[in-house]
Structure 1
Amino acid sequence: MDRDAPADFTPRFPGSGRLAGKVCLISGSSSGIGRAVAMLFAREGAKVVVTYHKAKEEGDEVLAAVKAEGAEGLALHLDATDRASCRAAVAQTVEAFGGLDVLVCNAGIQRVETDIAQIDPDWVEKIFATNVYGYIWLAQAALEHMREGASIVCTTSVNAYRGHPVLLDYSATKGAELGFLRALAANLADKGIRVNGVAPGPIWTPLIGETMPENVANFGTDVPMKRPGQPNEVAPAYLFLASADGSYVTGQVLHPNGGIPING
């Protein structure tokens, strides 16, 4: 794999209308896996709401890619740590498209720390507020508008299952997300709303170069497939769970991770 090549977000196959007419809100979709999910959902006929945090130009770029697929779309600012911001994003989605069928909770942050003693309280609050509270706030707001047949898909991580020696707090948040999605799935089963997760392994996204630059050369080489995955190799897992293809699946997690054995 060329470590100087950009991440690949482009869907690999023609669409088949699996999300035709569905309104889909994807948090953290201006980059990385979320961007690939937005583009794939657009190809499959969804109305896609892209969210960005800091860089409006990135959100606008993904929105342009969504529209290039022939889909309707909207780019919104979202601060996952802020319950009011999460509620506003959902409200604007419903105002623009008349409802909400699929919520993808994906916004997250991480940073490397080798010494647990150096993890400060402000950072712990920030990472949990982004990675965990944000999922809860978005789900709260979305469920006011979701009906039977709707779907929530949460990004967790292989690190929720095996941990990571220099991503201690991040691994903890991913474990919390895992517990949340399983509990919410049980809570909503009687309402016909499915909740599932995707736990990616090492995926080649801009976040890797930004947060783990010293590991870029060897990133992903420790898995059985000996390489990191591309965002467009992960996005189909979200499509399966969001669409009617996954109609008998709830409370489960898919593992696009290059061959890492996972139990539980």
Structure 2
Amino acid sequence: MTNETEKYEKKGSDIPKQQQSRQPGLQTEMHPQPDSGMAEYHGSGKLESKVAIVTGGDSGIGRSVAIAFAKEGADIAIAYLDEHEDAQRTKEEVEKCGRKCILIAGDVGDEKFCAEIVEKTVSTFHHVEILVNNSAEQHVQESILDIDKAQLEKTFRTNIFSMFHMVKAVLPHLKKGARIINTTSVTAYKGSPHLLDYSATKGAIVAFTRSLSLQLIEQGIHVNAVAPGPIWTPLIPATFPPDKVGDFGKNVPMKRAGQPDEVAPCYVFLASQDCSYMSGQVLHPNGGNIING
């Protein structure tokens, strides 16, 4: 067993009780800090000279993806809501890899902002090859009766409407060989009684991924998804009460939460030529859950 794996196991099984009072959560306030810097990852030029847009790229999985892509040679455009300190930290890490990074703040549930993301990316880098739709929010409710119209609409706007908006904006700029990668969730397959609307959006993302793949395959554009299990990101302390956070991830076969750095390689694979014979598929870094999806 490697030292890196042992580190993940210790950190993922020993999360103290904590809670944040705002969504989206802030990585700067988490303890322990997630492993999202891809410190042990060594790139090999798989994305050399490409440009990637990563929504929700300020922290958590998005941060790991942005840094991994940079280590593989890509320049990065990060879209995020208002977590400015987290986003700046990610930008600095990308630039340490010798790549360029721009930050674009706003609400991906707004179609005009999604168009702005693509416009700023193309005006800065003059091309784009990879879109990672990763932004999401979730809100715990005990009953469907507690989910009001405002929450329902906002969750769907952030989690799935944004993907339609982003793809529509970026598609005219994508050429053969481009990649679209969507973040879904294990909850799309096994459900979650307390995250009903969130789970519904994640199921929609699976169907969206499969259908968009079929629509774009003749253009040579590959569309795939990643369905993480319990990963230690700012969304967790911003969603659950302290007791739930303290037990987070212990119900999967590996008995621990995963780290963002353990998920990002899935995105690298799907963004690169390595997945030349794969489209419409979902990868499952979820701690050993068998979901047969």
- TM-score interval w.r.t. the shorter chain? over 0.9
Structure 2 residue aligned with 1:35: 63
Equivalent residue for 1:105, pick from 113, 130, 133: 133
With a CA cutoff of 8 Å and minimum separation of 6, indicate the structure with the bigger relative contact order.
2
Structure 2 residue aligned with 1:205: 233
Aligned to 2:139, the other structure's residue is in SS state coil
Structure 2 residue aligned with 1:69: 97
Structure 2 residue aligned with 1:224: 253
Aligned to 1:236, the other structure's residue is in SS state helix
Contact 2:37 2:93 in 1 (8 A): no
Equivalent residue for 2:264, pick from 212, 215, 235: 235
Structure 2 residue aligned with 1:44: 72
More displaced stretch, 184-193 vs 111-120: 111-120
TM-score (norm 2): 0.88
Q: What is the aligned length?
A: 264
Name the amino acid aligned to 1:246: C
Name the amino acid aligned to 1:238: Y
- Which stretches of structure 1, 4 residues or more, deviate above 6 A after TM superposition? none
Q: Alignment RMSD, CA only? A: 0.9
The alpha-carbon deviation at position 213 of structure 1 amounts to: 2.9
Contact 1:78 1:89 in 2 (8 A): no
Structural mapping, 1:97-136, within 5 Å: 97-136=125-164
Q: Deviations over 1:155-211 (max 9, x none)?
A: 000000110111111000001111111100000000000000000000011111111
Partner Cα distance (1:45, 1:179) in 2:
31
Q: Structure 1: where are the runs of 5+ without partners?
A: none
Q: Structure 2: where are the runs of 5+ without partners?
A: 1-10, 16-30
Q: Deviations over 1:215-263 (max 9, x none)?
A: 1111101110000100000000000000111111100000000000011
Aligned to 2:76, the other structure's residue is in SS state strand
Structure 2 residue aligned with 1:5: 32
Aligned to 1:25, the other structure's residue is in SS state strand
Contact 1:116 1:168 in 2 (8 A): yes
Partner Cα distance (1:259, 1:131) in 2:
25
Equivalent residue for 1:253, pick from 278, 282, 286: 282
Q: Deviations over 1:106-165 (max 9, x none)?
A: 001001111110100111000001101000000111101000000000000000011011
Name the amino acid aligned to 2:213: A
The alpha-carbon deviation at position 54 of structure 1 amounts to: 1.3
Structural mapping, 1:168-187, within 5 Å: 168-187=196-215
